[in-house]
Amino acid sequence: MKGKNNIAIGFLVMGLFMAYGFLLIYLRDFAPDKAAWIDSYIKGEHFESRLAHVHGNLFSLLNVVIGYLLLHFNSRLKNTNVISWLAIIGILMPVGILAEIYFSAPPFLVLIGAISMTISVIWLGFSFLKLSSEK
**22-71 confidence digits (pLDDT tens):** 988 888 788 888 777 777 766 667 788 888 999 999 999 999 999 999 99
89, 133 Cβ separation under 8 angstroms: no
Q: What is the rounded CA–CA span in Å between residue 2 and residue 69?
A: 10
Mean pLDDT of 6-31: 92
pLDDT over 80 (residue 94): yes
Q: What is the rounded CA–CA span in Å between residue 45 and residue 10?
A: 25
Return the sign of the alpha-carbon dihedral for residues 115, 116, 121, 126.
positive
pLDDT over 60 (residue 134): no
pLDDT the model gives residue 38: 72
Mean pLDDT of 112-135: 91
pLDDT the model gives residue 109: 97
- pLDDT tier, 135 (very low <50, low <70, confident <90, very high otherwise): low
Mean pLDDT of 120-130: 96
Q: For the chain, count helices (H), then strands (E).
A: 6, 0
Q: What is the rounded CA–CA span in Å between residue 50 and residue 41?
A: 9
Q: What is the rounded CA–CA span in Å between residue 16 and residue 108?
A: 22
Q: What is the mean pLDDT of the chain?
A: 91
Residue type, 82: V
pLDDT the model gives residue 132: 77
Residue type, 16: L
pLDDT the model gives residue 5: 97
